[in-house]
Amino acid sequence: VSESNNVLDSVHGALTTLNELVRKNNQFRAFIQSKRIAGADKAKILNIVLGESGQPLVAELVSHLEGRHASHQLQDVTDLFDHRYKAGKNIVSVEGTVASEMDDSEIVSLKSSLSSALGKNIDLSLKVDESLVGGIRLRIENTFLDATIQNQLNRLKQELLQP
């Protein structure tokens, strides 16, 4: 529906925002799970509260969720939508772990390199693990690449110890 109405990006953004709110805010989660609030009222309240970051299609979806499984159902819908959205936009999710903070130019360079190597647009999230000596560890969807200095030293050690 969102694709045919040309609101794919706004629905994706609204679903992602709403899902984060449900995960992080207990009161908002209770609102979504509430059986006492009618579905139409939930949709109206969401449209008012979320304003520009909301989306009527997402509010309509949430109006049909209730009970203790509502937050899990929203998570499932968000995950499925995110998967289809990224497939349609030729986006691949990459999670990186680095030894120290990277500046913006380094991040742009990394995204560009990954994009040209994979032939896809990159959705990159980075975290810092100061226990790494250097290098980077990447998770590209279900593929793990370890280009850390620690891993390279371990491989060198294994090669040297073999007869």
* CA dist., res. 152 & res. 157, Å (int): 9
Q: What token pair was written down for 30?
A: 């209770």
Domain boundary, last residue among 87, 110, 133: 87
- Residue-range definition of the domain harbouring residue 33: 8-87
| 20-42 confidence digits (pLDDT tens) | 988 999 998 898 888 888 888 88
Helices of type H across the chain:
8-24, 26-33, 39-50, 56-63, 70-88, 104-118, 149-161
Is 3 domain-assigned? no
- Mean per-residue pLDDT for 13-26? 89
Q: What is the mean pLDDT of residues 78-99?
A: 93
Residue 129 is classified by DSSP as -
- What span, in angstroms and rounded, lies between the C-alpha atoms of 76 and 93? 17
**Domain end call among 87, 107, 133:** 87
Q: Is the pTM of this model over 0.75?
A: no
In a domain, 1, yes or no: no
87, 112, 133 — which closes off a domain? 87
